[in-house]
Amino acid sequence: MHLLSEESLSRYTSNRRVTAFLGAAVVLLSLAFLAYLIYRSWPTLRAIDTELDFGQIALTLLFNICAYVIAIWSWHSIMTRLSGQRNLRLDAIVYCYSAVARRLPGIAWDIAARVVMYDQAGVSKALVALASLLEMLLIIVAGIVSYLALAPFTLSYLSIPGSWALICALLVGGILIHPAVVTYGVHKVRKDKLPVSLQYSDTLYWLFMYVLTWIVSGFLLYATIRSFYGLSPTHLPQLLADWALAGVLTSFITFVPTGLGLKELTLTLLMSRYMPEPIAAIGAVSVRLLTTGYSIVWAVIFNRWANSAGSSA
């Protein structure tokens, strides 16, 4: 099995033609998709009859940066654990490209982008696929834990004390994140075995990181809505819970092309319980537009980083 090394990174960055082509293709496709989203959502976006709060929009950028840092470091941690080698630059570059590809409609574009780009660095395709599958399972489990911890704030008809909800969430998370359960889940989806035996310290650390990612990205949604609608802070726990629930429910249709728009629809239905439905729809669409735009920006930045690294190699 080929592992990451400085020599692999040098070979990857020196192949600037492949890097530039793949980066440009992903960015152009994403720009086209972003234009399509704006065109499709234009009647809804025009319904906003208020002045935008640019301070809240600036907060969305801050939360996006925080979420990206956490997600990149988590992905780097997974690749390091499975491969036994550290290469933060390569992992960050590939993650940013794949994050853009994830926004495209279709079947697992992000995994395909990772496989192609890591292959240029001499990394086993099977290893990248296993790492991506492990990441997806961890994100889903973290979303379930996040929702369970916040469920009492969302399901108003349940009189569950917050402390008990948190205990239940931790128990469920502790079971689902057990190395034996995670390894079994990976093996059920792919027949390949993980190259290393996971420890509880590994999975608990990843669970914490991805729960943090869910929370930070939920704050991004909150700031997006607050930029044009005065949503009360008392609804923040509900919003965070609905964000996690919508993400978990729609994560099971990642490989279905018709999954495009279902997360926004699910999120709209959930949020319409405590805000007007048009506002909920605008919020769901707007956060999609913002995160897609931010992803393109990060991909362009890291593409320049990759090319500058290739020039100096």
206-255 per-position pLDDT tens digit? 999 999 999 999 999 999 999 998 899 999 999 999 999 999 988 866 54
Residue 311 lies in a domain: no
Nearest to 135 by CA among 91, 169, 87: 91
- 33 vs 45, 114, 116, CA distance in Å? 17, 20, 21
Domain extent, residue 179, equals 6-47+54-305
Q: Is residue 312 part of a domain?
A: no
The answer to whether position 310 is within a domain reads no
* Ranges under pLDDT 70 in the chain: 1-38, 41, 44-50, 105-107, 153-166, 190-192, 252-261, 306-313
What is the total residue count of the chain? Answer: 313
CA distances from 60 to 184, 264, 311 (A): 37, 18, 33
List b or e across 143-172, with b for residues whose CB sees 16 or more CB atoms inside 10 angstroms. bbbbbbbbbbbbeeeeeeeeeebeebbeee
Residue 164: phi, psi to the nearest 5? Answer: -65, -35
pLDDT at 158: 46
Does 1 map to a domain?
no
| Structure tokens, 97 | 């490209």
Does some domain include residue 81?
yes
Number of separate domains in the chain: 1
Domain assignment present for residue 110? The answer is yes
Class of residue 196 by CB neighbours under 10 A (exposed 0-12, middle 13-18, buried 19+): exposed
Is residue 116 situated within a structural domain? yes
What's the pLDDT score for residue 259?
47
pLDDT computed for residue 182 by the predictor: 83
Residue 217 lies in a domain: yes
